[in-house]
Chain A
Amino acid sequence: MLTRDESQKLTDRVLKLSKMPECSVSIEETEQAFIRFANNGVTTSGLTLQRRVVVSTGRDGRTGVSETSEVDDSALEAVVRKAEELAQIAPPNPEHVEPLGPQKYPDYDNFDERTARARGPELVPQVKAVIDAARTKKLVAAGFLYRTASVQASANKAGNFFFERSTDSRLSTTVRTPNGSSSGWAAHPAARLSEINGADLSARAIDKCIRWDGKALRLDPGKYTVVLEPAAVSDIFLFAVPGLGARLSEEGRSFFSKRGGGTLLGEKLFPEIITLRSDPFDRRFPTQIASDDLPARQITWIEKGVLKNLVYNRYWAKKSEREPTGPANNLVLEGGEGGPMDLVKAVDRGLLVTRFWYVRFVNPQTGQATGLTRDGLFLIEDGKLTQPVMNLRFTESPYRMLQNALGVGRNVRSRGGEGAGMITPSLVVKDFTFTSVSDAV
């Protein structure tokens, strides 16, 4: 992987080639080792190195962007010239903002050497533990284990430079009965591979699979109290993020748009148990010291139910005479105490949801999305899981989900089927809307 010194020399080479007054270059290099398994055996696996060198250059508000994966002299010259050629052709961009001058980035590093070096000897045992556990129970495991090591560097002619390196990993597994009558799932993302335990993870997925097997109850669609495990919250919450944009909100196209114009900034929209913030320095996340080239920082979006901030990019912030916020990433939904089963104990009648799947917007303005439950849906009666339930399709908004939240558990880093994931607790939510039944297992 590129070192800080090598990255700086590389960005210097690019900037020296540039003939236009504005030029910025960013470099990303990612090495990934992975094992994919299914039917209790490995299917595909590999070791890959990917690199991107992105050059953005221009003058007088005209900008061109070009990208390459090569770093020899002629490739760098070619990518700079291409970007300049595009800049000469492009009309002026009225939303152009000046490049950032030198920034003070946080002195923070969450890189793990062992994760960065991990190959077969570290990865295979975790996968073997999952497969062996499934085989012992006469079940069939599928899953995916990976680790990544990345560096990112960015520099511009205004004198700014940053370098960061990060590691990340995740093991997920789906365990099914051989006849396809049941399925259970568990996953664990971690900035350090050493935190992943294949045996523990497979035990959770196997437990779900075994509990769900048998005659699943068919419930009518309707509104239910639900206990959403962290992965389920993460699956649906991904659809709450775009609406946090200040521009979208001011232009009348977001949940946070006010009727008649303006936004709902400053208004109490959710219960007091809801606090949402970005925290790039939570060690459960991989390193991130820069966000859109701005120094990464902690920022609170919703505090005890009150909308405190919207996302202002540099252009919109300039027009609004506010400080730019950076994007809403490294999201943390504040939690309380207890895991999902602790929250279940307080529910008279409801459903425990392991995760959601194929969640997509229905109405981006209200945040209404649709998707399905998967890999473990259970009826709760008098604080206990009593029966498996046939999977259900929901049509619900993550904002309404937060508005109907009754309780939060302990927060953990979680990533469900899609998206970047977040740190979130389990949630108890009333009146969660399910609209049809699915035969799928």
Chain B
Amino acid sequence: MSISRREILAGSAAAFAAELFAGPQESKQPNAALEKLGDAALKEAKRLKASYCDIRINRYRDQTIQVRLSPERGTGKTLEVPQVSDETSFGFGVRVIFEGAWGFAASPVVTPEEVRRVTGEAITVAKANASLKTRPVMLAAVKAYRDRWTSPFEKNPFEVPISDKLDLLLDVGREIKKQSKVQSSTGFLNFHSEDKYFASSEGSSIQQLIIQTFSSIEANAVDFQRRLSKSRMYVPTPLATGYEFVARMNLKEHAQRIREEVVEHLGAPPVQPGKKDLVLMPSHLFLTMHESVGHPTELDRAMGYEANYAGTSYLTLDKLGKMRVASDLVNIYGDRTTDRALATVAYDDDGVKTTKFPIVSKGIFVGYQTIRDQAHLVGEKESKGCCYADSWSSVPFQRMPNVSMEPGPRDTTLDDLISGVEDGILIEGRGSYSIDQQRYNFQFGGDAFWEIKGGKKRGMISQVAYQSRTPDFWQACDGVAGPSYWQMYGSGRDGKGEPTQINSMSHGCSPARFRQIDVIQTD
């Protein structure tokens, strides 16, 4: 029977989806209809003699509003170009372990019959793989939970009129364009929700709702005579929160700033390359931390499971607990519990209660990120709750949690960091980023750069990128600003795995100083 005929017979799935995930926010129990569907998979897997089964029934929604102001061809008149879209996706995925091998199958048709059929498909896949397995899958123990959790929000962004969002972005775009030398502006808002249900043959039944808010604004300026163009962005901290956060982004105020800075950047002199001291703001440093600490401490990467795509890690198992990867000032942790951080949930996609754990402690590498089928590889009895799949149709696997750096001493200010620099650069925002397949050699750009001379922040410079080797870079950290400077930023589309999946996570840090880093002059 074709998929479409099965679905027509199934009836109104859209209403069904709404009914499945409905229920008061404060309810602590999963919806009974979800549990009934989940049970269909678990019973079928048991009947077919799988040793483990879990099912995720998920619904995703993405609402994106974008407004671009740019000159009309021929007239130069500013056109205001809106774009609005609203996407949903609903389906389920089943994982099984059969004869020690994983199998997975997924479908967009959410009916008991299809759930049973797809469970059978997952077992077929597992049977085929069993002949190629090297060792049976081993899962760390986990308690059974029956729970319901919602990420904190005051105003559901999907209930806010689209017209309000469009008006906001138009207002901000027009503010940017008040600078006559700005060629174009773009404003962007995205609201993402994940309704997730997880049930496992080990007795868990967990329903969660996560809402995330993303935004950015950008100004572009062009010098036709010098064949040069520059952009300047403001990216507010993306968070797992509701529309109440949008007002706190202060988009209009930042629009006024970036419209001037993009013009200044366009005329800024190029950097003189050489070894320099860098003061890196949280809006920039978060990405360096993500790439050079977050990724190499993923256990599956260190064990070779990512070797064919993103590579392995220089942090091999023999270095755990021993290798100095940073200065004494650097303490970095992984977690999925920080309030409103992007990767924060109550339970991961293995059904493990999430937690906080150290990764780098006073500069020493002390912990990997793990999931249930990895924990035993490092002699641990429990998973650190880092399992995630980006869709009902994706296989859950180990993904980076929120990874953050502890702030420095209370009385260390940003000015303290700057005043200790004779010849250096302050970098804000993200630009180009590239790191090798074991997370050693990297090169990072930024969004804006200011020269620091004789302990003072001077004018903007341009064409800056820095290169370093991860452990050398982090050991060159000799100053971290205090808690009042600590800010969280985030990565919204981190790619990993084959087929590639995306993930969002937050990274918090204070401004920090790094000594004598190689700076190059780019185009």
Tell me whether A50 and B129 are in contact in the complex, defined as CB-CB below 8 angstroms, given that A174-B307, A436-B467 are known contacts: no
Q: Is B227 an interface residue (CB 8 A)?
A: yes
Best-surrounded residue of B84, B225, B439, B467 (most CB of chain A within 10 A): B84
- Asked if residues B312 and A46 are in contact (CB atoms below 8 Å), the reply is no
Residues on A with beta carbons closer than 8 Å to the beta carbon of B108 = 49-51, 69-70
- Asked if residues A48 and B393 are in contact (CB atoms below 8 Å), the reply is yes
Q: Mark B123-155, 1 if CB is under 8 A from A, else 0.
A: 011011101111100000000000000000000
CA distance in complex: A65, B436 (Å): 39
- Asked if residues B522 and A50 are in contact (CB atoms below 8 Å), the reply is no
Residues on A with beta carbons closer than 8 Å to the beta carbon of B106 = 46-49
- Asked if residues B445 and A362 are in contact (CB atoms below 8 Å), the reply is yes
Q: Is A38 an interface residue (CB 8 A)?
A: yes
Closest chain B residue, CB of each to CB of A73: B12
Give the total of B residues in contact with A, Cβ under 8 Å: 106
- Asked if residues B162 and A260 are in contact (CB atoms below 8 Å), the reply is no
CA distance in complex: A140, B436 (Å): 20
- Asked if residues B316 and A180 are in contact (CB atoms below 8 Å), the reply is yes
- Asked if residues B309 and A144 are in contact (CB atoms below 8 Å), the reply is yes
CA distance in complex: A75, B436 (Å): 45
- Asked if residues B134 and A39 are in contact (CB atoms below 8 Å), the reply is yes
- Asked if residues A71 and B7 are in contact (CB atoms below 8 Å), the reply is yes
Residues on A with beta carbons closer than 8 Å to the beta carbon of B432 = 360-362, 370
Tell me whether A67 and B87 are in contact in the complex, defined as CB-CB below 8 angstroms, given that A176-B304, A358-B436, A438-B440 are known contacts: yes
Interface residues of B in 1-42 (CB under 8 A from A): 2-4, 7-8, 10-15, 17
Q: Is A250 an interface residue (CB 8 A)?
A: yes
Residues on A with beta carbons closer than 8 Å to the beta carbon of B433 = 360
Q: Is B121 an interface residue (CB 8 A)?
A: yes
Interface residues of A in 123-144 (CB under 8 A from B): 123-124, 127-128, 131, 140, 142-144
Residues on A with beta carbons closer than 8 Å to the beta carbon of B11 = 72, 74
Q: Is A95 an interface residue (CB 8 A)?
A: yes
B327 to chain A, nearest CB (A): 20
Q: Is A21 an interface residue (CB 8 A)?
A: no
- Asked if residues A65 and B132 are in contact (CB atoms below 8 Å), the reply is no
- Asked if residues B441 and A45 are in contact (CB atoms below 8 Å), the reply is no
Q: Mark A237-264, 1 if CB is under 8 A from B, else 0.
A: 0000000000100111100011111000
- The listed residue (B220, B309, B439) touching A417 by CB distance below 8 A is B309
- Asked if residues A140 and B308 are in contact (CB atoms below 8 Å), the reply is no
CA distance in complex: A435, B522 (Å): 11
Residues on A with beta carbons closer than 8 Å to the beta carbon of B71 = 251
Q: Is B264 an interface residue (CB 8 A)?
A: no
- Asked if residues A6 and B2 are in contact (CB atoms below 8 Å), the reply is yes
- Asked if residues B440 and A49 are in contact (CB atoms below 8 Å), the reply is no
Closest chain B residue, CB of each to CB of A436: B467
Residues on B with beta carbons closer than 8 Å to the beta carbon of A329 = none
- Asked if residues A90 and B308 are in contact (CB atoms below 8 Å), the reply is no
CA distance in complex: A370, B74 (Å): 35
Q: Is A278 an interface residue (CB 8 A)?
A: no
Tell me whether A42 and B14 are in contact in the complex, defined as CB-CB below 8 angstroms, given that A49-B106, A395-B520 are known contacts: no
Interface residues of B in 217-263 (CB under 8 A from A): 220, 222-229
The stretch that binds A, out of B75-83, B198-206, B359-367, B506-514, is B75-83
- Asked if residues B124 and A360 are in contact (CB atoms below 8 Å), the reply is no
Tell me whether A124 and B132 are in contact in the complex, defined as CB-CB below 8 angstroms, given that A50-B108, A70-B14 are known contacts: yes
- Asked if residues B128 and A119 are in contact (CB atoms below 8 Å), the reply is yes
Interface residues on A, range: 35 or more
Q: Is A146 an interface residue (CB 8 A)?
A: yes
- Asked if residues A90 and B82 are in contact (CB atoms below 8 Å), the reply is yes
- Asked if residues B308 and A174 are in contact (CB atoms below 8 Å), the reply is yes
Residues on A with beta carbons closer than 8 Å to the beta carbon of B82 = 90-91, 93
The stretch that binds A, out of B96-104, B346-354, B478-486, is B96-104
Q: Is A326 an interface residue (CB 8 A)?
A: no
Tell me whether A142 and B304 are in contact in the complex, defined as CB-CB below 8 angstroms, given that A71-B4, A439-B440 are known contacts: yes
Q: Mark B378-410, 1 if CB is under 8 A from A, else 0.
A: 000000000000010111010000000000000
Residues on A with beta carbons closer than 8 Å to the beta carbon of B498 = 34, 36, 144, 146
CA distance in complex: A42, B128 (Å): 10
Q: Mark A396-412, 1 if CB is under 8 A from B, else 0.
A: 01000000000000000
B143 to chain A, nearest CB (A): 25
Residues on A with beta carbons closer than 8 Å to the beta carbon of B309 = 144, 417
Q: Mark B184-228, 1 if CB is under 8 A from A, else 0.
A: 100000000000000000000000000000000000101111111
Q: Is A413 an interface residue (CB 8 A)?
A: no
Closest chain B residue, CB of each to CB of A132: B132
Interface residues of B in 402-451 (CB under 8 A from A): 432-441, 443, 445
Q: Is B90 an interface residue (CB 8 A)?
A: yes
Q: Mark A158-197, 1 if CB is under 8 A from B, else 0.
A: 0000000000000011101000100101000000000000
- The listed residue (B70, B105, B129, B434) touching A359 by CB distance below 8 A is B434
- Asked if residues B308 and A38 are in contact (CB atoms below 8 Å), the reply is yes
- The listed residue (B86, B101, B394) touching A67 by CB distance below 8 A is B86
- Asked if residues B227 and A2 are in contact (CB atoms below 8 Å), the reply is no
CA distance in complex: A319, B74 (Å): 8
Tell me whether A368 and B523 are in contact in the complex, defined as CB-CB below 8 angstroms, given that A47-B121, A173-B308, A374-B437 are known contacts: yes
CA distance in complex: A361, B441 (Å): 17
- Asked if residues A372 and B4 are in contact (CB atoms below 8 Å), the reply is no
- Asked if residues B440 and A440 are in contact (CB atoms below 8 Å), the reply is yes
- Asked if residues B166 and A253 are in contact (CB atoms below 8 Å), the reply is no
Residues on A with beta carbons closer than 8 Å to the beta carbon of B88 = 67-69, 79
The 3 closest A-B pairs by CB, nearest first: A120-B128, A41-B134, A74-B12
Instruction: Supply 24 A–B pairs (Cβ within 8 Å), ascending by A.
Output: A6-B4, A34-B499, A36-B497, A38-B303, A41-B134, A44-B102, A45-B102, A46-B395, A64-B86, A67-B85, A86-B84, A124-B128, A128-B131, A142-B304, A142-B306, A173-B308, A251-B71, A251-B222, A252-B224, A357-B436, A358-B437, A360-B432, A365-B229, A393-B441
Q: Can you name 12 extra interface pairs (CB under 8 A) apart from A70-B13, A251-B70? A: A41-B134, A44-B397, A48-B93, A50-B391, A74-B11, A174-B308, A247-B73, A252-B229, A260-B224, A362-B445, A372-B441, A393-B443
